[in-house]
Amino acid sequence: MKRLNQFKHLLRTTLIGSVLLACADMLETTPRDFYIDDSFWQTSQQALDALTGCYRILNETGMYGEYTINMFECMTPNAYHKDNYYNTRDFATGAHTATTLGLNRETWRVCYRGIGRCNNVIAKVPDIAMDEKLKSRIIGEAKFLRAFFYWKMNAVFHGVPLILTAPNLETDADLPRSSYGEVRDQIVKDLDEALPALETKYTSADDGRATKGAALALKAKVLLQDLDYAATRKACEDLFALGRYELFPHYNGLFRQANTGNTSVIFDVRWKYPFTNCNYDLYHGQYNIQAPVQELVDAYQMTDGKPIGESPLYDPADPFANRDPRLTQTIAWVGKPWRNRTATAADFHQTGYTFIKYTEYTATSPSMITDSDIPYVILRYADVLLMYAEAVNELEGPTEQVYNAVNRVRGRVSVEMPPLPAGLTKEAMREAIRLERRIEMAGEDDYFYAIRRWKTVETLMNGTVHTSSIPPYSGTVIETRTFDPDRDYLWPIPYTEIDLNPNLTQNPGY
């Protein structure tokens, strides 16, 4: 009996020990329903997945998701937004303060999320055993995206904490701001390092990724904003040498879903319904959240190349006849055929106008569209041609190259505006290029940056904007804007970030 009891005790002890060992093994088991940093960076597919996370930032609020599309346009003399989402009206009217938490906070947060993800890719992918060419390309794409996120911040804050390593709260949380020049130099460095690794063109499976052309176009944009005309010219010429891009023949069509990745698109933001949904049709076609103002409509020339105040073709009773064809391909108005009927003031309730870029709606489209995947075009070929024209004109005056670049934009199929007049002075050509940019890029947020580069924001954003004059509208003042040149070129650093990091200094005037 004693031996039997000893056996039972031994068996019990063995079973308990086995259970304890099993529990220990369970505690040490690698999680299979989520990733941790130590186990993630193992394969090429995981490297690609991490890079996808970097691109995914472009779909978020503060970038090109939700209402933030065209909010920058509403801080220019081109458009108006009445509801003050993300304090857009406050920025437009000069009512923003040091405690404003709108687009400034959204931009800060979303860009640093993107930068953190890019830094992880740049830091961790080099140690993965994988195809070296693919590895280099992934790192190059991450550097392009990091440069893009820093450019978005540097343009409005002029100097931010420059973080180039994988996220680390202990080292990153109390960093001071780097200077504007330091951030700009890092942006250019990232783009230069990305260039050799990026493809000129991808197969359909990888279409939409950053290319050599995207890096060169962004580099040109960064340099032009700094008035570095010689370097801008070189970046544009390097892009031309790729032989990759052409002007898409249908102006409005280049923004349509069916023409995703067309010959004019250099870099865009992609969507995939229902996983990600841009809702651009909803914002433009149904909510009319960002509305063109009369000042933009009046800026479009007549088909003879003259402004409405000088052309015999202009008829105030029929103000949209004989106008630059880009007007009717960019803007719809009360009385225009729209969504299988005639547009009314209920459709365009803010100013009597709406933008029709970035929407699938047409004159005959169905009553409601909710599931389109319209890409948002960030960089395109006409933009590069106009950057090139601006840079060369500032360097050498209105050369043949300048005329050719602008006239290619004006003269393409579906636009077919007359060439610029011969014999323009450098100053007259400068004004012609500026008008061409305003018209060509209307509704694409570009004008926000352009008028700051030209310093014309100081006059253009000190004044009033008006509604349509088409009944029931009467061309009334809808908003009065003010711009303080000693303060408003820069946005306030979000005060919540300063509360978290006392080493951050606020911009002047706030």
Residue 22's pLDDT band (boundaries 50, 70, 90)? very low
Picking from 345, 339, 333, the residue whose alpha carbon sits closest to that of residue 362 is 339
Give the SS3 label for residue 425. Answer: coil
Q: How far is CA 427 from CA 98, 251, 272, 357, 398, in A?
A: 38, 28, 46, 31, 9
pLDDT in the model for residue 453:
98
Mean pLDDT of 57-71: 88
pLDDT in the model for residue 17:
41
Q: How many CB atoms lie within 10 A of CB 137?
A: 22
> What do you get for the CA distance between the two ends of the chain, in Å?
90
How many Å apart are CA 261 and CA 381, to the nearest integer? 12
Amino acid at 251: Y
pLDDT tens string 220-267: 999 999 999 999 999 999 999 999 999 999 999 999 999 999 999 999
pLDDT tens string 410-434: 999 999 999 999 999 999 999 999 9
Contact 323, 303 (CB under 8 A): yes
CA atoms within 13 A on the CB side of 334: 20
pLDDT in the model for residue 14:
36
More confident residue, 230 or 2: 230
Q: Which long-range contacts (CB under 8 A, 24 or more apart) does 124-129 make?
A: 124/41, 124/50, 124/166, 125/41, 125/47, 125/50, 127/41, 128/41, 128/42, 128/43, 128/44, 128/46, 128/47
Which of 3-17, 160-174, 449-463 bottoms out in mean pLDDT, i.e. has the lowest? 3-17
pLDDT in the model for residue 203:
94
How many Å apart are CA 193 and CA 141, to the nearest integer? 10
Task: Give the global pTM.
Answer: 0.93
Q: What is the CATH number of domain 280-481?
A: 1.25.40.390
Question: Going by C-beta distance under 8 Å and a sequence separation of 6 or more, which residues neighbour residue 423?
Answer: none
Domain ranges within the chain, ordered by starting residue = 38-242+490-500, 280-481
pLDDT at 16 over 80: no
pLDDT at 20 over 90: no
**Common-topology check for domains 38-242+490-500 and 280-481:** yes
How many Å apart are CA 495 and CA 510, to the nearest integer? 10
Mean pLDDT of 450-465: 98
pLDDT at 25 over 60: no
pLDDT tens string 260-310: 999 999 999 999 888 887 888 888 878 888 999 999 999 999 999 999 999
How many Å apart are CA 482 and CA 90, to the nearest integer? 10
Residue 33's pLDDT band (boundaries 50, 70, 90)? low
pLDDT at 171 over 80: yes
The total number of residues shown for the chain amounts to 510
Contact 172, 163 (CB under 8 A): yes
How many Å apart are CA 21 and CA 42, to the nearest integer? 28
Amino acid at 443: G
pLDDT in the model for residue 366:
75
Mean pLDDT of 320-343: 96
Q: Cβ-count burial of 46 within 10 angstroms (0-12 exposed, 13-18 middle, 19+ buried)?
A: middle
Backbone angles phi, psi at 297, to 5 degrees: -60, -45
How many Å apart are CA 64 and CA 85, to the nearest integer? 14
Q: What is the mean pLDDT of the chain?
A: 92
pLDDT in the model for residue 70:
82
Residue with tokens 């209307």: 442
Architecture of the 38-242+490-500 domain: Alpha Horseshoe (1.25)
pLDDT in the model for residue 31:
63
Mean pLDDT of 310-317: 97
